[in-house]
Amino acid sequence: MYQPRILLALLLGLACQVGFAQQIDGTLKKVKETGVITLGIRESSFPLSYLDAEQKPVGYHIDICNRIADAVKAKLALGKLEVKHQAVTSQNRIPLVVNGTVDLECGSTTNNADRQKQVAFAPTTFVTNVRMAVKKASGIKDLDNLGGKPVATTTGTTSVQLMRSHEKGKNIDFKEVYGKDHADSFLMLETDRAVAFVMDDNLLAGLIASAKAPNDYAIVGTALSVEPIAIMLRKDDPQFKALVDDTVKTLAKSGELNKLYTKWFLLPIPPKGVNMNFQMSEPLKALMASPNDNPAETYKK
């Protein structure tokens, strides 16, 4: 027979478990009830989120999202957690997070003030500059060489708006052509349907490294914007947001985030074993030391 003090401890433990089950809300409650967490993945956002030779999602942000999924599993004391993948595009990524189809969007999304009205972001895990990829043979060096020429970008991104709002781009008349994803936009450049592809410089570097003739291309021109890139999640979900933030901050503090950066940006990566040799920027080094989820507008001040 249980002693009174032991019985009391057991009852208190049971009460705590019941209380925890009642208290969880939002995404954590959904995952607890279903045993499933869904990651939104990009298919050609090198090396943040893309498909390898077996069509398996891999990349820097995929690894970070998997660490978050592990933290969710531990938090909820789940014996098993199924991690599903849902391909998203620049156009549908925000709606699929908002409507609950995707729990974490693990792609290449810029955290800005306008998007923060619809969704929340994890602490920034990458910082990029928006520039343009061109064929070296074109002789194009900057925005003022684009007059009257077709310029590619990906539907649902902010790149063309950045070009038009930039001082150098205000009076340039160029034709906008849109790819359905980053691979499609780069194909337009590759097949001469566009003379430039405007996008985050790390994505451009990844696409060039994976191209048929990498030496034919260069990343050129004025940096149009400094963009904090972060994992996206639903807004007004404080419990899940706290877990995501704590996980990313722990990865940064422990040095694990730095190791993941080295793995994906400074070493050979699948499917072709290319090395992007993309050194960590000073703004990202600062964020590793002091993580935050400040929007892009903060970087322009």
Asked whether residue 270 carries a pLDDT value surpassing 60, the answer given is: yes
How many Å apart are CA 123 and CA 242, to the nearest integer? Answer: 11
Q: How many Cβ atoms from other residues are within 10 Å of residue 53's Cβ?
A: 9
> Which pLDDT score is estimated for 42?
97
At which of 203, 227, 251 does a domain end?
227
Q: Identify the residue with better confidence: 83 or 161.
A: 83
Residue 55 CB neighbour total at 10 angstroms: 8
What percentage of the chain reaches a pLDDT higher than 90? Answer: 73
Residue ending a domain, among 186, 206, 227, is 227
Q: What is the DSSP letter of 122?
A: P
Any domain includes 89: yes
What pLDDT score was predicted for residue 168? 66
Alpha-carbon distance of 92 to 73, in angstroms, equals: 27
Number of domains in the chain: 2
In the chain, helix, strand, coil percent, each to 5?
A: 45, 20, 35
First to last CA, the chain: 68
Beta bridge partners of 226: 129
Least confident of 147-151, 158-162, 202-206, 208-212: 158-162
Q: Are 117 and 58 a contacting pair, CB within 8 Å?
A: no
Contact yes or no for 226/233 (Cβ under 8 A): no
Give the contacts of 174 (CB within 8 A, at least 6 positions apart): 146, 147, 148, 149, 150, 151, 163
- Using pLDDT thresholds of 50, 70 and 90, give the confidence band for residue 224: confident
Q: Is residue 13 part of a domain?
A: no
Average pLDDT over residues 244-273: 96
* 112 in the same domain as 46: yes
Q: What is the mean pLDDT of the chain?
A: 90
Q: What pLDDT does residue 161 have?
A: 75
C-alpha to C-alpha distance for 36 and 39, rounded to whole angstroms: 10
- Give the pLDDT mean for 181-203: 94
32 in the same domain as 114? yes
75 membership: H or E segment, kind and range: helix 60-75
Whether pLDDT at 300 is above 60? yes
| 20 has a pLDDT exceeding 70 | no
Q: Are 45 and 116 in the same domain?
A: yes
pLDDT band at 225 (very low <50, low <70, confident <90, very high): confident
Is the confidence at residue 41, as pLDDT, over 70? yes
Any idea what the CATH number is for the domain that residue 221 is in? Answer: 3.40.190.10
Q: Is the pLDDT assigned to residue 144 strictly greater than 90?
A: no
Whether the pLDDT of residue 15 is over 80: the answer is no
Q: Which pLDDT does position 22 carry in this prediction?
A: 53
User: What residue numbers bound the domain in which 82 lies?
Assistant: 25-125+230-299
Q: Give the residue-averaged pLDDT of 43-49.
A: 94
Closest CA to 231 of 39, 51, 31, 56: 39
Q: Please say whether the beta carbons of 232 and 105 come within 8 A.
A: yes
Q: Is 153 a member of any domain?
A: yes
Residue 3 scores a pLDDT above 80: no
Domain boundary among the residues 227, 244, 274 is at: 227
Residues 6+ apart with CB under 8 A from 187: 179
If asked whether residues 40 and 121 sit together in one domain, one would say: yes
Residues 117 and 240 in one domain: yes
**Residue 19: pLDDT band with limits 50, 70, 90:** very low
211 falls within a domain: yes
31 is written with which tokens?
């995952």
Q: What is the pLDDT of residue 204?
A: 93
- Predicted TM-score of the model (pTM): 0.82
Q: What percent of the chain has pLDDT over 70?
A: 91
